[in-house]
Structure 1
Amino acid sequence: MTKPKHRIVSRNLICDNWIRLEELTIESGRLNDPGKLHSVNRFVHHHGSGACVLPYDAGRDCVLLVRQLRAPLVWLNLDDCWLIEAAAGLVDDGETPKEAIQREVVEELGYRCHSFVPLPMYYSSPGSVTEQVFPFLARYSQTDKHNDGGGLASEGEDIEVLEMSLVELSRLFRDGKIQDSKLQLCLLALLAMLPGKREVPFASMF
């Protein structure tokens, strides 16, 4: 299939604070008629790229997670706005995704993890957001604890550190209690990589 050509006709900056929000006018050909041009207006949200990690203790078959209050869930007026997630953070200028997540695990989880395994990059919400997310798996043990974690108070972070068995995390996912997409992806990747037969949530339903 030949992909139609496209170009940005105009861009209008709406906001440039912590996020950058632009309105783009894009001109492109159509898939079924590449020579016929049409224009669309789209809003694009940019706040940089991110990295996330699911650390695994093979000796005790458990993982490290975070739980924190999320403003969009407050906006949705949910009963429980505290989300269980994979530790994550933005990639600062001059950092690689691995360097960023190594920094974040110390800040958020309080551990110095090792044996980082990169997973494929994905776009968090490509309909409107430019964010690229770089997920990782990693190893840790109790001897790798460096501090209490919890995030940086200077950045307004108030993070609960959770250690949970892999069996329990899989059960919560199966029961619809894990609603963080980056944690879902990392969990499924970890289960696929571990030796021996593991029950993968939802596998029996297909």
Structure 2
Amino acid sequence: MSAKERIRITAIEPLSANWNKLEKVDFQYVRANGETQPLTREIYHVDDGATVLLYDAARRTVILVRQFRLPAYLRGTSGDLLETPAGFLDGTEPEARMRQEVEEETGYRIASMQKVFEALMVPGCVTHAVHCFVAAYTPQDKVSDGGGLVAEGEDIEVVELLVDDALAMIGRGEITDGKTIMLLQYAALSLLRN
């Protein structure tokens, strides 16, 4: 049975449209045993985004950014997260968007990047997908200080780490951002093997 045959949306109620769109969706779901079950979910429609892990294979380093994230703060942390540079697509192609974001956030101008996967980060309630890239960099690729755009509320610190140190930080709970963890593990398995 196709998804269109298993799902019948019966009502959509807008709840908010301030930053992104939040809706309450009522639907009928046909279970594997053939029974129909009425369900309700709140769905947050968020524009897709992209992220990139910058790596220097010769020096075994990566570039991350540290910035304040209010939801992390509301969970009882400092709110300052180490993560890969990222941004919403805003109607732009993922690679083009990442070239712009990398330079704004890190100050590096990247010659080429490779898309390695696309991930749904919270598929139970958010429509947002993240296009994940990797890109080689060298110290000579640095063209500015980076730091983000003040107009967007960005106050970004650029952090260069040995990949082994970054991986250890995951285990210690010092890197908790999902997209960053996935890309660091991808790099460890595919790009920066010992």
- The match for 1:201 is none
Cα distance in 1, alignment partners of residues 193 and 153 from structure 2: 42
- The match for 2:107 is 110
Count of equivalent residues: 193
Q: Secondary structure at the match of 1:129?
A: coil
- The match for 1:63 is 62
Aligned to 1:158, which of 148, 155, 158?
155
Q: CA deviation at 1:24?
A: 0.5
- The match for 2:184 is 187
Same amino acid, percent of matched pairs: 36
Please list every run of 5 or more consecutive structure 2 residues that lacks an aligned counterpart in the other structure: none
Cα distance in 2, alignment partners of residues 114 and 192 from structure 1: 23
Change (3 A) 1:2 1:17: closer
Amino acid of the structure 1 residue aligned with 2:41: R
Q: CA deviation at 1:195?
A: 5.9
- Write the mapping of 1:95-106 to structure 2, written as runs, cut at 5 A: 95-106=92-103
Amino acid of the structure 2 residue aligned with 1:140: Y
Change (3 A) 1:195 1:123: closer
TM-score between the two structures when normalised by the length of structure 2: 0.93
Amino acid of the structure 2 residue aligned with 1:143: Q
Change (3 A) 1:106 1:29: same
- The match for 1:16 is 17
Cα distance in 2, alignment partners of residues 70 and 86 from structure 1: 13
Amino acid of the structure 2 residue aligned with 1:42: R
- The match for 2:128 is 131
- The match for 1:87 is 85
Please give the per-residue CA displacement for 1:52-106, whole angstroms capped at 9, x wherever unaligned: 111011232211100111101221232x32111111100011x111111111101
Please give the per-residue CA displacement for 1:109-135, whole angstroms capped at 9, x wherever unaligned: 111123311112110100100001111
Amino acid of the structure 1 residue aligned with 2:142: K
Contact 2:57 2:192 in 1 (8 A): no
Please list every run of 5 or more consecutive structure 1 residues that lacks an aligned counterpart in the other structure: 198-206
Amino acid of the structure 1 residue aligned with 2:169: L
Amino acid of the structure 1 residue aligned with 2:50: A
Cα distance in 2, alignment partners of residues 192 and 136 from structure 1: 15
Q: Secondary structure at the match of 1:77?
A: coil
Amino acid of the structure 2 residue aligned with 1:184: I
Contact 2:60 2:192 in 1 (8 A): no
Higher alpha-carbon deviation: 42-51 or 112-121? 112-121
Contact 2:52 2:133 in 1 (8 A): yes
Cα distance in 2, alignment partners of residues 2 and 196 from structure 1: 41
Q: Secondary structure at the match of 1:119?
A: strand
Cα distance in 2, alignment partners of residues 51 and 144 from structure 1: 20
1:146 aligns with 2:147: no
Q: CA deviation at 1:196?
A: 4.7
Q: Secondary structure at the match of 1:56?
A: strand
Q: Secondary structure at the match of 2:143?
A: coil
- The match for 1:176 is 173
